[in-house]
């Protein structure tokens, strides 16, 4: 097999030795599959990449790129483009900046192990998902059958910030769960940058959740989980385990259990330190002096009622997130949904969440006099979405677009309270087409994808609310935390 491939590409072991010894003058190279030269490549996912030098010794040499772009790491962990740069410099040849930039942009790729549930076969299928940030293209390989599932194709709806372990992404209508990094390079490059921490909005600042979430978005965080909840005394004691010997422990517990809180998992590089910086000093009075733009300075009152909380370390963040978002699959602390005749359901759609509009939408709803009595972020699969939108099937022409949008990413479900809330809140939202009118005229650019969804007026509104909101047990069991 190895000899055949070498013959096919006109490449021998001596060429590999020349490559590794940085003697590249006048040599034409081809790189092939992993099993050809295992001792030189960690992995390879392409058929052929050719790069050669042209020009005389007294002229600037040029790098020419042809055929498939390379996608692999070398034994010492260097990308091939970096090695070639060092090679040419060591031989006193020059690579034009434009040519080198093109190579770097197109060569970098990130690999993830992803899983997709095949509803026809009723089984989970695993793929290797490759993302090329240079041109936004994707590629997929079937792990079990060792074959290409999707050739490299541009896909505008996937972005680098969407790629982190545990997230759900949609590739051409397939909802993939990212399970793990696919290679060491991806783990090194993204693993250290995608740090998670807990952001907790305390009872005194729940009414300011929109402003706080807006600050979080502007600071470069990605909101990956969110739930409004209430804590029992035992849960509050477990949460404040580090303050067991403090004289103000009872005061802390009484305050944290006095009303609803909003727990969030937020993501970015150096997330723990950056979130602590946004919070400011624990005492809100001191924060107003030392960090007047911090969250505690803006929304806190004192050392106990200080608006929000953040863990002090990565280990502490992991422990606290396990309390609020258990990895075991249980629901964690109780939600705050009331399910009364004075409530209705509101869904902030995935495109609005991904565009960072959640904070603005929460502020707009609050300023209009509505109360958000429950809230949670979750992902829906296609089956759930079709059930959710079943009354629109065959009725509206945008049905397929509505379904695709709703499971394209995380959405936020809210329970809205007010007298005669269904009719009033629908009027507040306005027509489904934002070109006609919508509460968020200035918040959305999508003609057929308004930012929020509210229930139709109906005698069955309470039944619909119960069946459609995340807070029902059936949907909770399908969530991926």
Active site residues: 309
CB atoms within 10 A of CB 33: 17
Instruction: Check: CB of residue 48 under 8 Å from CB of residue 30.
Output: yes
Q: How many Cα neighbours within 13 Å face the side chain of 53?
A: 21
Largest CA distance in the chain: 85
Cα–Cα distance measured from residue 24 to residue 21, given in angstroms and rounded to the nearest whole number: 8
Q: How many helices (H) and strands (E) does the chain have?
A: 19, 20
3-state secondary structure of 457: coil
Are 446 and 434 in contact, with CB atoms under 8 Å apart?
yes
In degrees and rounded to multiples of 5, residue 452 shows phi and psi of -130, 155
Query: How many whole angstroms separate alpha carbon 122 and alpha carbon 80?
Result: 41
d(CA 4, CA 12): 11
R_g over Cα of the chain: 27
Q: Which stretches of 108-267 are DSSP H helices?
A: 184-191, 209-218, 233-239, 249-256
Residue carrying structure tokens 């505690």: 296
């Amino acid at each position: 097999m190895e000899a055949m491939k070498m013959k096919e590409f006109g490449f021998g072991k001596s060429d590999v030795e020349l490559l590794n010894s940085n003697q590249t003058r006048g040599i034409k190279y081809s790189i092939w599959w992993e099993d050809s030269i295992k001792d030189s490549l960690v992995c390879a996912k392409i058929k052929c990449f050719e790069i050669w030098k042209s020009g005389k010794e007294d002229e600037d040499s040029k790098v020419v790129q042809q055929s498939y772009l390379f996608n692999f790491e070398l034994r010492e962990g260097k990308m091939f483009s970096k090695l070639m740069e060092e090679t040419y410099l060591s031989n006193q040849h020059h690579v034009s900046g434009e040519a080198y930039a093109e190579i770097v942009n197109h060569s970098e790729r990130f690999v993830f192990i992803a899983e997709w549930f095949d509803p026809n076969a009723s089984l989970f299928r695993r793929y290797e998902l490759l993302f090329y940030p240079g041109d936004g293209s994707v590629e997929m390989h079937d792990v079990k059958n060792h074959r290409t599932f999707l050739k490299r194709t541009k896909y505008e709806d996937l972005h680098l910030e969407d790629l982190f372990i545990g997230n759900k992404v949609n590739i051409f209508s397939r909802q993939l769960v990212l399970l793990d990094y696919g290679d060491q390079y991806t783990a090194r490059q993204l693993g250290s940058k995608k740090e998670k921490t807990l952001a907790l909005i305390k009872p005194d600042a729940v009414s300011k959740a929109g402003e706080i979430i807006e600050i979080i978005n502007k600071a470069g965080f990605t909101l990956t989980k969110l739930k409004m909840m209430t804590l029992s005394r035992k849960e509050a004691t477990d949460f404040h385990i580090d303050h067991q010997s403090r004289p103000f422990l009872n005061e802390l517990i009484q305050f944290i259990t006095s009303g609803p809180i909003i727990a969030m998992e937020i993501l970015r590089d150096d997330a723990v330190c950056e979130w602590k910086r946004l919070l400011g000093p624990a005492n809100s009075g001191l924060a107003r002096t030392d960090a007047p733009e911090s969250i505690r300075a803006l929304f806190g009152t004192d050392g106990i009622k200080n608006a929000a909380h953040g863990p002090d370390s990565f280990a502490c963040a992991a422990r606290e997130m396990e309390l609020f978002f258990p990895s075991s699959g249980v629901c964690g602390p109780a939600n705050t949904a009331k399910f009364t005749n004075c409530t209705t359901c509101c869904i902030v759609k995935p495109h609005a969440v991904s565009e960072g509009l959640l904070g603005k939408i929460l502020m707009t709803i609050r300023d209009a006099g509505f109360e958000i009595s429950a809230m949670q972020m979750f992902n829906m699969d296609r089956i759930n979405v079709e059930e959710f939108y079943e009354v629109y099937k065959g009725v509206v022409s945008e049905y397929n677009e509505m379904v695709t949008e709703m499971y394209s990413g995380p959405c936020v479900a809210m329970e809205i309270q007010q007298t005669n809330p269904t009719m009033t809140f629908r009027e507040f939202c306005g027509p489904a087409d934002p070109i006609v009118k919508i509460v968020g005229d200035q918040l959305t650019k999508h003609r057929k994808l308004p930012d929020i969804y509210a229930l139709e007026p109906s005698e069955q509104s309470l039944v619909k609310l119960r069946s459609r909101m995340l807070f029902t047990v059936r949907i909770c069991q399908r969530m991926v935390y």
